A and B are shown apart, each in its own frame.
Chain A
Amino acid sequence: MSANKILIVDDEDIIVRLLAMSLRSDGYEVVTAGNGQQALEVLEKEAPDIVVTDIKMPVMDGLELLKRIKELDGEKEVIIVTGHGDIDSTITALQYGASDFINKPVRDEALAIALERAKTKIHIREQLEGYTKNLEQKVAEATEEIRRRASFQRLLIHSSNDAIVAFDREWKIVVFNPEAARIFDVPAGDVRNKMTIEDLYLPDLAKMFKAEAEKEKRQGEMPWKEMTLNLKQGGQFPVRYAVNVLHEKGEFVGIVNFFQDLTEIKRLENELVQSERLAAVGQTVSGLAHYVKNILIGLKGGSYVVDVGMKKNNMEKLKDGWGTIKKNIARVSDLTQDLLTYSKEREPEFEPCFPNEIVQDVVNLVYDAAKGKDIEIKADVAPDLGEVTADPRTIHRSLLNLVSNAMDACLEDEDTSKNFLIEVRTYTEPDNTLCLEVRDNGCGMDDNTMSRLFDPMFSSKGGKGTGLGLLVTGKLVEEHKGRIDTESELGKGTRFTIRLPFETVAQETLETGQGG
């Protein structure tokens, strides 16, 4: 134990010396004083842990000393040595805060016990002081940490790029960060702890999030979704949003909404699409120049033949040249149409139509041309496919493009012993999918050609293709929310399948139509 320095105060020198001797032999360090006044001086100089004092002394007695010591240090252990029957002094000493009493004559054992008690008290007090100090420190540290975390979280929420809106269990808004204030265009101060979910959101949205809270029995995160956020005061934002339903010990405590403003992203996406389209058109231009030149050559050649026909009055030549000119005028017209289709956004115009009839139209349209090139073309349509709602122009243009490609594929085939055949099929797949298939047994394509089919201005037909045909077909089909699949084998043939969603025309409409 650390309390080792003891001050003995007594005016009887012999007692002081005896006690000092005895305590030193017990291992204590001992300082002494002959009266209270002296004792205070020694106390100041030596700072003993425990004071043992007699009461009756000259100059300053023990009670006065006790009083002074306690004034200086209320915790100091002071043991009073009392004479027999000195009850008054004892009571006074108690009132002044004496730690302990031992009777005169002082016996070593009694003193030893009193000292041990004092030492124990000092020790406990020291420990307690240590603990208290430590505890205060710890509380201070913890408080600081909590404060720091809270401020970090506040900062995090405050500076988040996401709009964060949190509701408590009463659907009152408790968190509303600056980004939320920006998106919803209300100052945070007007919202936080003042508004409820219904005050901020339109009824639909509030209902949706409330339903979400009902649904989510456990703590859950909804995946990010996109929507158009309509504001109460008008205006709208494309946003990504997420909902976190918060539970504590199984109990609903609130909900957090995150919103990300997609306006800029959408704008950039649109720009990208636009610039990609422009780039595609740019690539197209160089190839187109050659195609246009090709048409010009036709027109020039045709007009030369017409000139000769007129000069010689040769009807044959006139017809011939005029035919060439007309054919090339048609090519310009087709080209213009393709270019317009490709460069413009076009919404499909849905209307009731009979896909099987369109297929027959296309087959009839190219039948003679195909026959002239020894190519057989036939339609194989699903008999149960009646009237559907779709864009007949998309179907017609796409099929015509694919069929004309199929004819080219037959003409390019090295193997002339084949009986060239082009088949146009219709069939349906579940979920109202209309399938239009164009199959040929022509030259087929290698993987490289296949992979570039829908590239702008890619043509495997030399000067005879604009490179726009499949591009336009692809775009039409895409706008119709459909898709095109290609299968091909070099030397064997190619199969294109267009899949378009359609709606069946109600039977009664059909009957009414037929009846009328």
Chain B
Amino acid sequence: MNKKVLVVDDDPDVRSFVVTVLEENGYSPLVAHDGVEGLEKIKAESPDLVILDVLMPRGSGIRLYRQLKTDESLKDLPVVMFTGIALRSFLKSQKALEEFNGEVPKPDIYLEKPVEPEELVQALKKKIG
């Protein structure tokens, strides 16, 4: 049984790329377009890992991360966090994360785009095999 990995990203190009990488490396990809859909999919499909874009419209990436890490039943779900691309947005997401640093642990894996397929696969292998 392949491990299930959920990709939460509003950018269809990123989704298509990550999904292809996952397929090529023996994972079963699931996709969600934003944080709200992401949480629904997590509850419905129980993925083994979530690849989450921090910077999505309506701050839903950050919010989903907080929801996951403050929920007893979900807080152990491994999260690969994608940082935003532009320096400005990177800083913005950093700041947003720091705001609840006290209550929420840092992401398990922190990847900055652009991500080479090998880099992503390595991170996944290390976390969920």
Chain B 7-29 interface residues, beta-carbon cutoff 8 Å to A: 12-14, 16-17, 20-21, 23-24
Q: Is the interface of B mostly helix, strand, loop or mixed?
A: helix
Interface membership of A302, Cβ < 8 A: yes
In contact, A301 and B16 (Cβ under 8 angstroms): yes
In contact, B13 and A463 (Cβ under 8 angstroms): no
In contact, A296 and B114 (Cβ under 8 angstroms): yes
In contact, A290 and B85 (Cβ under 8 angstroms): yes
In the assembled complex, the CB of B31 is this many whole angstroms from the nearest CB of chain A, namely 12
Interface membership of B84, Cβ < 8 A: yes
Query: Cα distance A302–B13 when bound, in Å?
Result: 7
Interface membership of B58, Cβ < 8 A: yes
In contact, A305 and B55 (Cβ under 8 angstroms): no
In contact, A414 and B59 (Cβ under 8 angstroms): yes
Binding site for B on A (CB under 8 A): 286-287, 290-291, 293-294, 296-298, 300-302, 304-305, 308, 317, 320-321, 324, 327-328, 411-414, 416, 459, 462-463
Q: Which of A300, A302, A413, A414 contacts B114 (CB 8 A)?
A: A300
Query: Cα distance A308–B117 when bound, in Å?
Result: 12
In contact, B58 and A321 (Cβ under 8 angstroms): no
Q: Find the A residue at minimum CB distance from B57.
A: A411
In contact, A301 and B13 (Cβ under 8 angstroms): yes
Instruction: In the complex, identify which listed stretch (B44-52, B65-73, B86-94, B102-110) lies at the interface while the others stay far away.
Output: B86-94
In the assembled complex, the CB of B78 is this many whole angstroms from the nearest CB of chain A, namely 22
Q: Is the interface of A mostly helix, strand, loop or mixed?
A: helix
In contact, B85 and A294 (Cβ under 8 angstroms): yes
Interfacial chain A residues near B84, Cβ < 8 Å? 462-463
Query: Cα distance A144–B117 when bound, in Å?
Result: 96
In contact, A416 and B114 (Cβ under 8 angstroms): no
If the complex has contacts A297-B114, A412-B58, A416-B58, are A286 and B87 also in contact, measured as CB distance less than 8 A? yes
In contact, A462 and B114 (Cβ under 8 angstroms): no
The contact sample of 6 A-B pairs, CB cut-off 8 A, is A290-B85, A290-B87, A308-B20, A324-B13, A459-B86, A463-B86
Interfacial chain B residues near A291, Cβ < 8 Å? 86
Interfacial chain B residues near A304, Cβ < 8 Å? 17, 20-21, 117
Among B21, B59, B87, chain A packs the most CB atoms within 10 A around the CB of B87
Query: Cα distance A244–B32 when bound, in Å?
Result: 77
Query: Cα distance A298–B85 when bound, in Å?
Result: 11
What 17 new A-B contacts, CB under 8 Å, besides A301-B14, A328-B13? Answer: A287-B87, A294-B113, A297-B113, A302-B13, A304-B17, A304-B21, A304-B117, A308-B20, A324-B12, A324-B16, A411-B57, A414-B58, A459-B88, A462-B88, A462-B89, A463-B55, A463-B86
Among B58, B59, B86, chain A packs the most CB atoms within 10 A around the CB of B86
Interfacial chain A residues near B21, Cβ < 8 Å? 304
